[in-house]
Chains A and B, each alone.
Chain A
Amino acid sequence: MLSYALRRILQMIPLLFVISLVIYGLTALQPGDPVDQMIFGNPHIRPEDVVRLREAYGADTPWFEKYWTWLTHAMRGDFGYSRDFSIPATQFIFQQRLPNTLLLTVPALILSTLIAIPLGIFSAVRQYSLPDYILTFLSFIASSAPVFWIGVMVLFLFAVWLPQATNGAISLPPGGLGSAGMDPSAGFAAFWGDRLKYMILPVMVLMLREISSTLRYMRASFLDVINQDFVRTARAKGLPNRSVIYKHALRNSLIPIVTILGLSIPGLFSGAVLTETVFSWPGIGRALLDSLVSKDFNVVMVCLMTLAFLTVIFQLITDLLYGLVDPRIRYN
């Protein structure tokens, strides 16, 4: 196991290099550059300005040359400035945006996994019962409803309609990170109480989708397992304790859940663009999207390489967890 893990970590190094090269190349090869935007933003710009600006922004430098500069700096720990925000890219991502994103995605993932697994098992055990149909129906409603719609509707409901209908008894803020002027100096309880009020709706919307997906996988996987021989044998033998069977089955049915979690944990760090946008939550998802579109290379690279690293690491962790969940899984 240990040698397997070590081998995987060694494979990671060249893989990450290749990924960084491809990401940089793709970003660079996208059409358009900052100077194009200036040309179309300003009818008074002159050809000589265009030439000068192209030089200044290195718009005509071949991308592999730029990549090499980036790589040599990055190896020394210098990840450069965000061109759009004029602050160090690492500061922008790790200090300004990532904490906000984690504040939404981590609670959403934990809560939804805790809710979805028992619901999924329940749905599987009661396959084709009324509650199973209802859960199926609800989970597909949750996954078919677009975030822009459900997000705006819950905002309208909790920030406009309910406050009016209940005379302010039920009232949530219409998006944002926190009340204006509220900062940690107001005291721990006051600050986090305020922040929590702003978190409720976006976390709820994020959870809807995650619950529906985990629930479906859990249900399917549990069904696959309890129909398998060993469980049927156990049943047929009249094993007295149902819970023993289910414990055994649960363990075996967790593999897809581990896979799905392993795939979605890196996503915790990439944020959820749509939810962040609808709830005015300054997270990493929007930052990444904006920086990709405007070719803010240093931000793109910090963001995507962190993501790539996490993706690769979590695939390894997933594989190691398989072995824990089911000791018969071995790597040679």
Chain B
Amino acid sequence: MTATTTAPAEQKSYSTFQLAMRKLRRHRAAMISLTFILLITLVALFAGVIAPHDPNAQDLANTYGPPSRNFPLGQDDLGRDLFSRIIYGSRISLAVGFSVAIMSALLGTFMGLLSGFFGGRTDTVISRFIEFMLCLPTLPLQLVISGLFVSSDKPFIVNLRNNMGPSASVFIIISVFVIFGWMTNARLVRGEVMRIRNLEYVDAARALGASNNRIMWRHLVPNILGIIIVSATFDVGGAILGEAALSFLGFGIQPPVSTWGNMLSNAQEVVLQYPWLPFYPGLAILFTVLAFNFLGDGLRDAFDPRARH
């Protein structure tokens, strides 16, 4: 099997992709998930058209209003429409969740591959760096950054401070999560790569003159895609939830912009009075994570040349 997939590489890659897509299309859970993800992406893009209300329109006479025909999910602490806020909230939450998951998976896989495949000095340097990063306490670092935003007079930061719209914040949030989130992935990939780099098929590929690059991305990665996807799936949920914590640090999303994360954390204080409040953003997060998971499963099966399906 190893020989057949490696030999005529370039010409076959297109049809491999086609093959994979055909497999994916047969994977029902993955297709449902893909549809769901496309759908919520559309919802996020066209939030303005879909949302029945202005997400920031307050109605102080009806705070914590129950679901009604006008407000299908009820109203929040300022009488705003929860449904519209969930719809608008998907923009930032999805952007943060997906970008963080994909970027830290890429960065972690890259570092783990280098470290596990080459071993020796490369491994020493990368592994010590991973340990260093694991030991860094994130909270003080984030507070230091937060302090910088206030104290610094550097034009770049002044600019950012004065024009900090949600998009600048989203960029910072994603960076913080990726910078502090790739290590688990790298450790996972490194361990697995060390195990399979000595397997026969890798030796065979090497004997056939495959480049290191090719061995790594064509032979190693597909074999460990499963755990990379699991790790990325947890990152989607983690980033969506964690985003709210970052907004407390001064460089995150500020009120009144809604995200699923801050809708959840706003519900925290009143969870005993209105236990259903965390439910809607919680469900939105759950379904997004599930969809990401099933799509990941499907993709892995599709690109795995040996998969049973």
A and B touch in the complex (CB under 8 A): yes
Given contacts A144-B237, A144-B286, contact A259 B187 (CB under 8 A): yes
Please, which residues of chain A bring their CB within 8 A of the CB of B230?
216-217, 219-220
Which A residues have a C-beta under 8 Å from some C-beta of B? Answer: 11, 15, 18-19, 22-23, 26-27, 29-32, 128, 133, 136-137, 140-141, 143-146, 148-149, 152-153, 156, 213, 216-217, 219-221, 223-224, 227-230, 232, 252, 255-256, 258-260, 262-263, 266, 289, 292-293, 300, 304, 307-308, 311-312, 315, 318, 322, 326, 328-329, 331-332
Please, which residues of chain A bring their CB within 8 A of the CB of B147?
29-32
Which one of B119, B124, B237, B268 lies within 8 Å of A143 (CB-CB)?
B237
In angstroms, how far is the closest chain B Cβ from the Cβ of A49? 24
Which one of A146, A293, A304, A322 lies within 8 Å of B135 (CB-CB)?
A304
B282→A149 contact, CB < 8 A:
yes
- Indicate if B275 sits at the interface (CB-CB under 8 A): yes
Chain B residue nearest to A136 (CB atoms) is B293
Please, which residues of chain B bring their CB within 8 A of the CB of A223?
226
In whole angstroms, how far apart are the Cα atoms of A27 and B139 in the complex?
A: 9
If over half of A's interface residues share one DSSP class (helix, strand or loop), that class is named, otherwise mixed; here it is helix
B199→A26 contact, CB < 8 A:
no
B137→A144 contact, CB < 8 A:
no
Chain A residue nearest to B1 (CB atoms) is A229
Q: Which of B160-168, B207-215, B300-308 contacts A (4 or more CB under 8 A)?
A: B300-308
B229→A263 contact, CB < 8 A:
no
In whole angstroms, how far apart are the Cα atoms of A315 and B187 in the complex?
A: 9
Q: How many chain-B residues does the 8 Å CB contact rule pick out? A: 66
- Indicate if B150 sits at the interface (CB-CB under 8 A): yes
In whole angstroms, how far apart are the Cα atoms of A292 and B194 in the complex?
A: 38
- Indicate if B172 sits at the interface (CB-CB under 8 A): no
Residue of B136, B192, B199, B290 most packed against chain A (CB within 10 A): B192
In angstroms, how far is the closest chain B Cβ from the Cβ of A290? 11
List 30 contacting pairs A-B, 8 Å CB cutoff, sorted by A.
A11-B128, A19-B132, A23-B136, A29-B140, A32-B147, A128-B29, A140-B289, A143-B289, A144-B237, A146-B282, A153-B275, A156-B272, A216-B230, A216-B233, A217-B227, A217-B230, A220-B229, A221-B227, A224-B223, A224-B224, A228-B196, A229-B199, A255-B192, A260-B188, A263-B184, A318-B191, A328-B195, A328-B198, A329-B194, A332-B119
